Amino acid sequence: MDTVEHLSDLIGRIYDAGSDLTAWQQVLTDICHWAGGDFGQILVFEAGALAPFFNVAVGYDAAAHARYLRDYALQDPRLPAWRRLPPTVQPCHLVVDPAWLDRQDFGAFLDENNCRWTMAAIDPAFDGVAGMSVRRPRRAGPFTPEEAGRFDLVVPHIRRSLALTQRIEGLAGRARAAEDVLDRFDRAVVLLGADGRVVHVNAMAVRLVEGGRLQLRGSRLRSADPAEATALRGLIAATLEPGPRTGGVKLLAGGGVPLIASACRLPDRRPAGFAMPRAAAALFLTPSGAGSDDFGDVLPALFGLSRAEVRLAAALHDGFSLSEIAGQLGLSRETLRTQLRSVFDKTGTRRQGTLIRLLTDLARESRLARRAAGVMTDTARPQ
């Protein structure tokens, strides 16, 4: 491989290492060979920090490198002079007097570990150490201008690759924080790709799947109930369909606790020319009456409502019409009207608006009671 091809390949692999930290060892080894060195290090060490933010080294004895980090990384006697120079590659024998360095404890340390001659590029504005270096034994002689020039060709690419690493780490941290927030939601959240496949589920959604209420097959959310599966597919398709629509609401009553399913498209804020984002839409699954999740206990206890009547009342409270409830539950409107008349009689109401206001008040009082009970439980615990 000729020099140009070799350099091009090396630069490409430097950028690859920006998104794959495990590749840095081999890449740094190749950088050392390219620049005529035997040892190499890339180090970002903030002043006052107990450990480096970024550190990769090749050629060093592990114990010697640990001592270097502990005793010399921030105390290299050449650092003051290096900080006064441009951030390009500088051979150490031109930065300080070699005879002066020989009289330093650090000079003896370098000789003991066969890495006497150094050329490095540092960020002079960084409060600590941020730089990269290539070293070799005393017997090899100081680095030549040609070798410094070869190293200088790759240094800007190393810096950009490290910036990429920081950017990726920052995005990963934001993603972890976002996932933690989603896990704290009191409803199931499912993030969908543009093809309708599931790309992320929060903790509540995991419970729905593990409990068998819904299924996750081939990265697609499914239901064992045919009618519910059709409703779910239709909601997802409508949400992902191009146009002004943003999804809708469905009542899933195929088994277990009925679920209110709603969905919306997520904004696409990627710059022009970037790949499609992984998550294109969000699906929210809430147990019918959640936020009023004690209806199953409160309504039978207060008014003697049957299970079917509780389900109807909760669905009305959640904003569904009789027609929508009839379609999702597979019941006739007449059956639901009969159930609603019974709900009116038992609750002492005569209109849907009055019933819904009553249910809203009960839901609020239920939440306040549960919150107060939680506070009382916490204060009653031994400190």
pLDDT tens-digit readout, 341-351: 999 988 888 88
Closest Cα partner for 318 from 252, 379, 369?
252
Top-level CATH class of 289-383? mainly alpha
Identify the pLDDT of residue 1. Answer: 46
Q: Looking at per-residue confidence, does 368 or 206 come out higher? A: 206
- CA-to-CA distance for 51 and 63, rounded, in angstroms? 16
- CA-to-CA distance for 169 and 171, rounded, in angstroms? 5
Q: Do domains 3-174 and 186-287 have the same CATH topology?
A: yes
Is the pLDDT at 367 greater than 80? The verdict is no
Identify the pLDDT of residue 198. Answer: 94
Q: Supply 177's token pair.
A: 């924080």
Do residues 279 and 193 make contact, with C-beta atoms less than 8 angstroms apart?
A: yes
- CA-to-CA distance for 167 and 161, rounded, in angstroms? 10
- CATH architecture for segment(s) 3-174: 2-Layer Sandwich (3.30)
Is the pLDDT at 130 greater than 80? The verdict is yes
pTM: 0.57
Distance of CA 359 to the CA centre of its chain: 39
The pLDDT tens digits for 216-234 are 888 899 988 888 888 889 8
**Domain residue spans of the chain:** 3-174, 186-287, 289-383
Residues 67-92, mean pLDDT to the nearest whole number: 91
The dotted CATH code for 186-287 is 3.30.450.20
Identify the pLDDT of residue 249. Answer: 66
Do residues 187 and 285 make contact, with C-beta atoms less than 8 angstroms apart?
A: yes
Confidence of residue 135 (pLDDT cuts 50, 70, 90): very high
Q: Collapsing DSSP states into helix, strand and coil, what is residue 301? A: helix
- CA-to-CA distance for 356 and 92, rounded, in angstroms? 80
CA angle 195/199/203 to nearest 5° reads: 140
Is the pLDDT at 268 greater than 50? The verdict is yes
Residues 329-342, mean pLDDT to the nearest whole number: 91
Is the pLDDT at 371 greater than 80? The verdict is no
Confidence of residue 372 (pLDDT cuts 50, 70, 90): very low
Longest dimension (CA), the chain: 101
Q: Looking at per-residue confidence, does 254 or 23 come out higher? A: 23
376 strand-pairing partners: none
Q: Collapsing DSSP states into helix, strand and coil, what is residue 87? A: coil
Identify the pLDDT of residue 38. Answer: 95
